[in-house]
Amino acid sequence: MVEHVRYRERRRVPRIILRTRLIYQKIESEGKVSESKECFTKNLSSVGLLFQTDEIIIPTTELKIALYLPGLTQSINIQAKVVRIEQTETENRYIVGVMYIQIEEKDREEIIRRIEFMDIKKLLEVALTKGASDLHLIYGSPPIFRIGGQIVPLEMESLERFELKDMIYSVLNEEQISRFEREKELDFIFSPNPEARFRGNVYQQRGNIEATFRVILPTIPSIKELGLFEVVEDLARKKRGMIIVCGPTGSGKTTTLAAMVDLINKERRCVIICLERPIEYIHKNIKSIVKQREIGSDTLSFANALRHVLRQDPDVILVGELEDIETIKTVFTAVETGHLVLTTIPAPNTAQAINRIVGIFPAEQQRLVSLQLSFCLEGVISQILLPKKTGEGRIVSTEILITTDAVRRVIRNMDLVQLPSIIQTGSIYKMQTMESSIRSLYEKGLISEEVASDYSREFVGKLIIR
């Protein structure tokens, strides 16, 4: 049975960000009107709106406005008065604020209803209230939350194509819209207030613009608060080497890296450079200097940033993801010159993470790459999130690989089928298998027997190496 979250109607609404089309004419003397100009709103309420134009409009000027709201076949006709104007950072572009003078009450009600329906900020507030991890905005469906790992639709109307586009564009700036329309993909951070941050991803599906928003915790949780093993703290305290966090998408890899950086920041006096896409958790300088650079805005790519990062006096480097050959090569160079590198790779388990790093290279280079990796690697943290027995939220289950001489030999020879048995017998080095971690959570009553059984079988089934 599908659970629904009820979206309560509100009669009074604040001004919200909204990008939708309007046409305006200036009302001149004797009731004459100027030539029509088309533009887009910046925000909208039941009593006024802001729009952007390329001409100066003197305050007190009266306008005839045709406002086009998504889903309506006809425009809403408004007479309004200009109450403010300001120049934007772009030359010859102005933000104009107007107050409604004449509007039919049914049209005002329609504006209120549409604002309630299209307000992403309110949807995100509901996500926070309900403890959701994600909000999905999908064409032909109502907004959908992920709560405790389960998909939960919101009880409201399905989203149509143009409504969805305007909703999503309402929280993007002009540069982000331009980048998305050029690249058809966009990662960004949206922060409606200082206490709330969300990672947004905009994409196209069958020609429709859709988006997913991931809730970012307001504070950086500690390694212990995340339920990770003490050995993760030991790995974060290393002075050099490569530490990989792997797991499927949405398994909390970024949060684990943030917790490790936070521990270093609190304990060491060093320079930490984080290369992220996008920046999710904000680190403040405590004992360390933390420099956070966003791929796409502060630098072109992970590889491009890494080419220059060694000249920026780092002790610790965080690389958001090992996504190509050049990035991996430069990470090896950083480790070989005495740096600690923390990074992630989307792989279901430890063996597959190593396999992916080596396998991305041409066959003739893989022998050398496996040799370099065996020298550079200090440990792998593999994690998945399991639904709690209480049904409220999820809990992390972790596999830990510590690079011993035996592990280095296995990596050099790419004999990765040996890794599970090495991890299983490596408790003296604080290694931990995923199966034993899942079993421990079950024995503590944190997950159900069904979840323990299902995830244990699924994880074991993913240990196949090419």
pLDDT tens per residue, range 81-137: 999 999 887 778 899 999 999 999 999 888 887 776 667 888 888 888 888 889 999
DSSP letter for 268, please. Answer: -
Could you give the CA distance from residue 210 to residue 151 in angstroms, rounded to a whole number? 17
Give the start-end residues of each E strand in 287-390: 289-294, 316-319, 340-345, 377-387
Q: How confident is the model at residue 296 (pLDDT cuts 50, 70, 90)?
A: confident
Region 420-444 average pLDDT: 92
**Count of CA atoms in the C-beta half-sphere (13 A) of 340:** 21
Query: Is the separation of the CB atoms in 322 and 345 below 8 Å?
Result: yes
Q: Is the pLDDT of residue 52 over 50?
A: yes
Task: Taking the CA atoms of 192, 196, 197 and 203 in sequence, report the sign of the dihedral they define.
Answer: negative
pLDDT digits (tens, 9 = 90+) for 351-366: 999 999 999 999 999 9
pLDDT of residue 39: 93
Q: What is the mean pLDDT of residues 158-181?
A: 84
Q: Which domains does the chain have, with CATH numbers?
A: 16-110 (2.40.10.220), 119-216 (3.30.450.90), 230-461 (3.40.50.300)
Round to whole Å and give the CA distance between 256 and 236: 10
User: Residue 129: in which H helix or E strand, if any?
Assistant: helix 120-129
Q: What is the pLDDT of residue 90?
A: 76
Q: Residue 8 above 50 pLDDT?
A: no
pLDDT value for 196: 83
Neighbours of 364 (CB within 10 A): 7
Of the chain, the percentage scoring pLDDT greater than 90 comes to 57
What's the gap between Cα 344 and its chain centre? 15
Banded pLDDT at 154 (limits 50, 70, 90): confident
Question: Averaged over 416-420, what is the pLDDT?
Answer: 92
Mean pLDDT, all residues of the chain? 88
Q: How confident is residue 1, by pLDDT bands cut at 50, 70 and 90?
A: very low
Per-residue confidence band for 457, with pLDDT thresholds at 50, 70 and 90: low
Closest residue by Cα to residue 271 from 255, 302, 254, 293: 293
Identify the top-confidence range among 42-46, 109-113, 213-217, 325-329: 325-329
Neighbours of 129 (CB within 10 A): 9
DSSP string, 376-435: HEEEEEEEEEEE-TTSSSEEEEEEEEE--HHHHHHHHHT-GGGHHHHHHT-GGGT-B-HH
β-strand pairing of 37-44 with 21-26:
antiparallel
Q: How many helices (H) and strands (E) does the chain have?
A: 14, 21
In the chain, what is the straight-line distance between the N-terminal and C-terminal CA atoms, in Å?
A: 39
Token pair of 360 as six digits:
């991305």
Band (pLDDT 50/70/90 cuts) for residue 458 is: low
Task: Give the 3-state secondary structure of residue 181.
Answer: helix
Distance CA 339, CA 275 (A): 15
* Predicted TM-score of the model (pTM): 0.71
Read off the pLDDT of residues 301-321 as tens digits, 9 standing for 90 and up: 888 888 889 889 999 999 999
460 pLDDT higher than 70: no
The pLDDT of residue 464:
38
